[in-house]
Amino acid sequence: MVPRMQTSASSRLLFAILLGGSVACSSDSGTEQAAGMLASSAGAGGAPSSPTASAGSSPAGAAGEQEAAPGGSAGARGSEGPNVVQIADPGADGATPAPGSTPGGALAADAGSPSPARGACPTGPFAASPLPAGASPQPVCTGLTFIEGPVWFQELNTLFFSDFQIRDAASNFNGRILSYAPGTGNQCQEFITNSGTNGLVIGLDGNLLGARHSDQTLTRFDLATKQTSVLVPNFNGQPFNSPNDIAIRSDGNLYFTDPSYMLGNRTSVLPTQTYRRDPGGALTVIDTAGSPNGITLSPDETRLYLSHLGGPNDVVVYDVDASGAVSNRQPFANVSSDGMGIDCAGNLYTTQAQTGVTVFDPEGNRIGTLAAPGAANVAFGGPDRKTLFITATGTLFAVELAIPGLPY
């Protein structure tokens, strides 16, 4: 179990100010507004209707959408495109400040840093099925562009997620980070503009850690100042393609995927691979299968799940030892998945754009499917962490389930 992030009263006050406005999101590509907050009007279009969960649903087909490359050309299939992170010095204790940013002193050494706020799971017993009868995802906000990478901050009662297919004036996908705080009128608002992120997690210091396709790095976002510092810049001096998703263990081990979905017109130097960054900063390749995408850890952090878009055995599972090293790669589910999430009973939630969220028990048996067209990623949140948030193309969905889960 992992202790929750401790948030100061001043931080909570700051967030009450930052998130207090009832401003919704639209698909307009990020117009800067006053008071340090960028916001746009709510989309008027209705969300897709969502059938109820069905047990024993048939396997979903290959997931992923065409992603346009910068400059207007179509990119590879797949809905995730986190930014690449590179490590300037594998043994360095500190993060590398991004150009124009202030170094984040709180992100000094990984060893001995506070644990990430995955949250402690209750011991159970848990419900026989996580899917209550009639469970049906409902739209929270609509009219967005292509949303991904949800992460729930329990202390802030806030979900953060990326809207990553928004172009700047040069047709690059800079995107933005959005926030949603339940109880504020079911509206989402822009939190950080031009973030260039896809996957998001809670960093060791309690701030956001994002996979950035805009500069091909893993980058820390200070929640109070919104300033950035690069944590992982490259692999052996070579730029990543477009890192996609991140999982973080309580001891500081990072696991992240690097497909080429958001590479755009840039030249690919490295193969599309999956990496581990140990607490000392050393990077190693842990999986070389093509089209890596979602990645997540089991609640006890002894298993690592990895998804690929297309091909047999799309979801695989690794054993994770005490040091964080992985071994014993095994097929888990022959279903193509984008992002993934996990509940406290160890059930795995996979996403398919064509159907929604398909749930598997820890042995790989299919439990059922939640209908959410365009589903790309999931995260648990809410006061008891039983609310499953689903990012699905331009709509954020939410559904109440029977078992609590992890916040990313």
pLDDT in tens, the chain (408 residues): 333 333 444 444 444 434 444 334 433 333 333 223 323 333 333 333 333 333 333 333 333 333 333 333 333 323 333 322 222 232 333 343 333 333 332 333 343 333 445 677 988 899 999 999 999 999 999 999 999 999 999 999 999 999 988 776 666 778 899 999 998 765 899 999 999 999 999 998 999 999 999 999 999 999 999 999 999 999 999 999 999 999 999 999 999 999 998 888 889 999 999 999 999 999 999 999 989 999 999 999 999 999 998 766 799 999 999 999 999 999 999 999 999 999 999 999 999 999 999 999 999 999 999 999 999 999 999 999 999 999 999 999 999 999 999 999
Give residue 171's pLDDT: 63
Task: Please tell me the predicted confidence (pLDDT) of residue 274.
Answer: 97
Residue appearing with tokens 């850690």: 209
What is the reported pLDDT for 158?
A: 95
Rounded to whole angstroms, the Cα distance separating 38 from 13 reads 19
**Backbone φ and ψ of 16, nearest 5°:** -60, -35
3-state secondary structure of 200: strand
3-state helix, strand, coil in the chain (%, to 5): 5, 35, 60
**331 prior amide bond cis, ω within 30:** no
What b/e readout covers 330-358, taking b as 16+ CB neighbours within 10 angstroms? eebbebbbbbbbbbbbbbbbbbbbebbbb
DSSP string, 150-185: EEEEGGGTEEEEEE---B-TTS-B--EEEEE-TTSS
Residue 300 CA to residue 121 CA, distance in Å, equals 9
- What's residue 234's pLDDT? 96
Please give the full DSSP string across 15-41, using - where no structure is assigned. Answer: HHHHH-S-----SS-----STT----P
Provide the token pair at 166: 């928004």
Distance CA 174, CA 280 (A): 30
Sign of CA dihedral 16, 231, 199, 129: negative
pLDDT at 117: 55
| Token pair belonging to 163 | 């809207």
CB atoms within 10 A of CB 217: 29
